[in-house]
């Protein structure tokens, strides 16, 4: 483990002209961080399970130079509405499409990490008319590994039942290849979310996808991936705790024209762990620029 310099969500955002707000749409209240002029193309950034919009605090600045960026809290997460029923992929899709309607956007670029990638892939498959390009970042939805699901459920519910410093820290460390990336500031940001009175209920609802039967009916099949018709890039990492690089390569190879980028020495939050590399790869793909690290998965994998 290396010693990391002190960093803060606030210092990450200090140089960003951004706003935080809420949109009422589709029966949900969605909290967002927004950066970038709304005259630019829209980019919607979606976090993973039990995550929140600050997952993109290190990406808003560079992306807002080119896009109107909306990092949102999923329902059942962060400071968005917390429905009192199990949350499945269709509920997240309803939220996202309603949010797009509320901000007056018909079509957008999408980037999703883990659960966010799962939702983004399904939107790309089912609603291609609303998608320009999509980035699937260590996406969920194609695997059902009981050990990973149990580990995620146990860590998340332990932190929900007792949002102590150590339990929230342990949940965050699961995300990072180097646990020292988990700063006090990041722990406090998430602890405040986990300390909300309705968080334990919300966590039980958003953990529905860790139940095997519920997960099975929401999973993304190979045929679903073959039906994605918009430009797509799968971004994977060499130390992702949810699955190996080979899974990212397999997903990318099934999507017609799919691209693959692999980031070294990162876990499940590459957009935060190595923001400089992520921002370059991500922006190059979204803007349609070549990048030597973005490969055709069929012709030789990734660097």
Residue 230 lies in a domain: yes
Low-confidence ranges of the chain (pLDDT < 70): 1-4, 299-303
Q: With DSSP H G I counted as helix, E B as strand and the rest as coil, what are the percentages for the chain, rounded to 5? A: 45, 15, 40
Q: Is residue 282 domain-resident?
A: yes
Tell me if 193 is assigned to some domain. yes
Residue 222's H or E segment, with its range, is: helix 222-226
Return the pLDDT at 10.
84
Tell whether 12 is covered by a domain: no
The string of pLDDT tens digits covering residues 12-33 is: 888 899 999 999 999 999 999 9
Of 262, 247, 47, 240, the residue nearest 143 (C-alpha): 247
pLDDT of residue 302: 43
Closest CA to 237 of 133, 118, 137, 114: 137
Give the count of domains, the chain: 1
Q: Which residues contact 283 (CB under 8 A, 6 or more apart)?
A: 62, 63, 66, 289
CA pair distance 123, 120, nearest whole angstrom: 5
Residue 6 lies inside a defined structural domain of this protein:
no
- Cβ contact 277:263 at 8 Å: yes
Note down the domain range covering 53. Answer: 19-295
* Domain CATH for 290: 3.40.50.1820
Q: Ramachandran region of residue 230, left (φ > 0), alpha (ψ -120 to 50) or beta?
A: beta
Q: Is residue 2 part of a domain?
A: no
Q: How far apart are alpha carbons 99 and 52 in whole angstroms?
A: 16
pLDDT of residue 3: 64
Q: Is residue 13 part of a domain?
A: no
What pLDDT does 77 receive?
97
What is the reported pTM?
0.94
Task: Please state, as a whole number, how many other Cβ atoms lie within 10 Å of the Cβ of residue 55.
Answer: 26
């Amino acid at each position: 483990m290396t010693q990391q310099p002190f960093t803060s969500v606030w210092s990450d955002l200090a140089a960003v002209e951004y706003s935080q707000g809420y949109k009422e749409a589709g029966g949900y209240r969605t909290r967002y961080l927004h950066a970038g002029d709304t005259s630019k193309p829209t980019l919607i950034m979606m976090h993973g399970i039990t995550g929140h919009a600050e997952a993109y605090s290190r990406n808003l600045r560079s992306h807002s130079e080119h896009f109107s960026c909306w990092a949102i809290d999923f329902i059942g997460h962060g400071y968005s509405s917390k429905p009192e029923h199990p949350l499945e992929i269709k509920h997240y899709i309803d939220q996202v499409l309603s949010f797009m309607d509320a901000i007056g956007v018909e079509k957008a670029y999408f980037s999703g990490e883990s659960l966010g990638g799962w939702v983004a892939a399904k939107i790309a498959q089912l609603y291609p008319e609303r998608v320009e390009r999509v980035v699937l970042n260590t996406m969920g939805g194609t695997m059902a590994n009981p050990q990973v699901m149990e580990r995620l459920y146990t860590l998340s519910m332990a932190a929900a039942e007792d949002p102590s410093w150590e339990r929230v820290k342990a949940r965050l460390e699961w995300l990072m290849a180097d646990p020292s990336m988990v700063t006090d500031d990041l722990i406090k940001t998430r602890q405040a979310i986990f300390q909300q009175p309705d968080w334990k209920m919300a966590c039980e609802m958003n953990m529905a996808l860790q139940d095997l039967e519920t997960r099975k009916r929401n999973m993304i099949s190979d045929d679903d991936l073959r039906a994605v018709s918009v430009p797509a890039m799968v971004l994977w990492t060499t130390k992702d705790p949810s699955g190996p690089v080979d899974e990212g390569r397999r997903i990318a190879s099934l999507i017609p024209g799919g691209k693959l980028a692999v980031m070294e020495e990162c876990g499940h939050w590459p957009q935060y762990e190595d923001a400089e590399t992520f921002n370059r790869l991500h922006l190059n793909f979204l803007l349609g620029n070549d990048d030597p690290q973005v490969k055709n998965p069929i012709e030789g994998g990734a660097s």
